[in-house]
């Protein structure tokens, strides 16, 4: 799909909201409408203490040009905060939202982020058709592939046009995006780098159906993502990588079963062929409203690496085919351990050996408003590695959350990981054992204004 065809798609799609508007009743047929305006205030603060597992920096060379790792274990203590002011308007078939957002590390100078997290308008017909345009936080299915990643203070949102239908158990969404940098608008080029999202174009089709007589839901997802790599001296080029897959959820009494499979193909931003895939399964048993047990397994394909020299320098190997699965725009913190070693932070030199994540956990509510969680993860690479074992490590996590009131909540967690030599070398950490991270959060979400007229 070239840029001309993309522009034709977008021009045709932009005409649809106008058609939806003309489909609404007009003049005397419009009943007396109720306008609703709400304003919420959302504050989230989180303090973190990290010991081990972070990159061992700085890395220096000795007189023989050999890499020397410092002995000091990297630690980090900091406080993050985020403030949002969602403003929502609704009238009959029209909805609008504007959400200013500020996020920063306490004491940060010049690097805090003040932006519009969401700003969109949505028009919906009585038959269930809708059109939405603007900056939108996207969340689909279990958020593994497309999610807002709310753990990250800035979170993620997308500048899109979304068209769809929802009704009678069916949901169908078409998402279209085309990104551009402001500094090339008048230059005649369309190379897109260092933007709010990594893609130049994105076309996504999502379909979901809930079976009326069974607690069973099924989703199909297809993504066509255009990526660019701006290299000086080369003509602009958009390479398209594709993702296709399905998500299933089955929720009979006392049980909750989820499964997904996704296949990636096409080419990455360097024009290298992609052949990658992932699968996940999760089963939760809930004998009572206060207690549950969960077991699950994730497998994400990876690349083989042929040389890992001593000194922890990962050798560069040319790949004719990329087999490392890219988790694209999901809520990564939610799935692969709270210490965010995988698909949040990268391996050294961007190497992707894939991941196996086998886990078991439990949640218990001993008293009202208090929820306790504990889980265990076993991590391993998906591929066989030369001179290294697959095992990456073992992690234990504990979390507790308490709702002080309807709009005030506190939570805390602690994670402990015992990593292997493979983990130490691939993540370039100065320690492989006794890694521990802790965090505590305060969330305050009052509604400060609401009116109708």
Instruction: Sketch the domain layout of the chain as residue ranges.
Output: 3-18+37-452
Q: What percent of the chain has pLDDT over 90?
A: 60
For residues 100-120, one letter each, b for 16 or more C-beta atoms within 10 angstroms of the residue's C-beta and e for the rest, the string is ebbbbeeeeeeeeeeeebbbb
Measure the CA–CA gap between 429 and 389, rounded to whole angstroms. Answer: 17
Q: Is the pLDDT of residue 444 over 60?
A: yes
- Closest residue by Cα to residue 338 from 50, 102, 145, 43: 50
Predicted confidence (pLDDT) per residue in 241-274, tens digit = 999 999 999 999 999 999 999 999 999 887 889 9
Phi then psi dihedrals of residue 107, to 5 deg: 85, 0
Q: Is the pLDDT of residue 415 over 80?
A: yes
Q: How far is CA 148 from CA 44, 190, 330, 334, 345, in A?
A: 15, 27, 7, 11, 17
List of residues 6+ apart from 268 with CB closer than 8 A:
227, 239, 241, 274, 322
Can you give the pLDDT at residue 422? 86
Q: Is the pLDDT of residue 28 over 50?
A: no
Q: Are 242 and 227 spatial neighbours (Cβ–Cβ below 8 Å)? A: no
For the chain, what's the residue count? Answer: 453
Residue 54, classified by CB atoms within 10 Å of its CB into exposed (0-12), middle (13-18) or buried (19+), is buried
Q: What percent of the chain has pLDDT over 70?
A: 78
Predicted confidence (pLDDT) per residue in 105-156, tens digit = 999 877 668 899 999 999 999 999 999 999 999 999 999 999 999 998 888 9
Predicted confidence (pLDDT) per residue in 367-403, tens digit = 999 999 999 999 999 998 878 899 999 999 999 999 9
Q: Is the pLDDT of residue 321 over 70?
A: yes
Measure the CA–CA gap between 270 and 272, rounded to whole angstroms. Answer: 6
Q: Is the pLDDT of residue 327 over 70?
A: yes
Q: Is the pLDDT of residue 182 over 90?
A: no
Architecture in CATH of 3-18+37-452: Beta Barrel (2.40)
Task: Give residue 64's pLDDT band: very low, low, confident or very high (50, 70, 90).
Answer: low
Can you give the pLDDT at residue 181? 80
Measure the CA–CA gap between 369 and 406, rounded to whole angstroms. Answer: 10
Can you give the pLDDT at residue 272? 84
- Mean pLDDT to the nearest integer, 427-450: 85
Measure the CA–CA gap between 228 and 239, rounded to whole angstroms. Answer: 6
| Prediction pTM value | 0.86
């Amino acid at each position: 799909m070239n840029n001309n065809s993309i522009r034709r798609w977008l021009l045709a799609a932009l005409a649809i909201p106008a058609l939806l508007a003309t489909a609404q009743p007009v003049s005397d047929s419009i009943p007396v409408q109720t306008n609703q305006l709400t304003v919420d205030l959302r504050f989230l603060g989180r303090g973190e203490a990290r010991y081990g597992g972070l990159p061992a920096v700085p890395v220096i060379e000795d007189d023989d040009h050999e890499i020397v790792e410092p002995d000091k274990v990297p630690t980090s203590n900091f406080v993050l905060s985020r403030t949002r002011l969602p403003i929502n308007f609704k009238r009959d078939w029209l909805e609008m939202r504007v959400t200013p957002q500020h996020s920063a590390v306490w004491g940060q100078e010049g690097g805090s982020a003040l932006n519009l997290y969401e700003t969109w308008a949505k028009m919906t017909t009585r038959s269930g058709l809708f059109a939405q345009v603007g900056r939108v936080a996207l969340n689909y299915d279990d958020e593994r592939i497309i999610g807002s990643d709310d753990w990250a203070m800035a979170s993620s949102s997308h500048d899109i046009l979304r068209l769809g239908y929802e009704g009678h158990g069916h949901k169908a969404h078409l998402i279209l995006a085309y990104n551009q940098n402001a500094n090339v608008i008048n230059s005649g080029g369309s190379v897109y780098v260092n933007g709010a999202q990594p893609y130049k174009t994105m076309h996504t089709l999502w379909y979901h159906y809930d079976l009326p007589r069974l607690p069973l839901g099924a989703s199909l997802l297809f993504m066509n993502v255009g990526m660019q790599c701006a290299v000086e001296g080369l003509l602009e080029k958009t390479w398209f990588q594709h993702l296709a897959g399905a998500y299933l959820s089955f929720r009979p009494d006392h049980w909750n079963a989820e499964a997904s499979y996704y296949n990636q193909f096409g080419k990455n931003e360097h024009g290298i062929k992609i052949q990658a895939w992932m699968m996940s399964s999760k089963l939760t048993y809930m004998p009572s409203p206060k207690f549950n047990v969960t077991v699950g397994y994730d497998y994400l394909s990876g690349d083989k690496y042929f040389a890992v020299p001593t000194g922890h320098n990962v050798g560069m190997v040319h790949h004719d085919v990329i087999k490392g699965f890219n988790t694209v725009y999901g809520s990564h913190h939610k799935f692969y351990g709270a210490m965010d070693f995988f698909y949040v932070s990268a391996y050294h030199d961007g190497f992707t050996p894939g991941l196996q994540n086998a886990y078991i956990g439990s949640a218990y509510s001993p008293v009202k408003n208090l929820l306790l969680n504990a889980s265990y993860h076993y991590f391993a690479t998906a591929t066989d590695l030369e001179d290294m074992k697959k095992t990456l490590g073992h992690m234990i996590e504990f979390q507790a959350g308490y709702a002080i009131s309807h709009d005030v909540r506190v939570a805390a967690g602690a994670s402990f990981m015992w990593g292997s030599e493979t983990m130490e070398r691939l993540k370039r950490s100065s320690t492989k054992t006794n890694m521990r991270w802790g965090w505590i959060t305060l969330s305050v979400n009052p509604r400060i204004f609401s009116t109708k007229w």
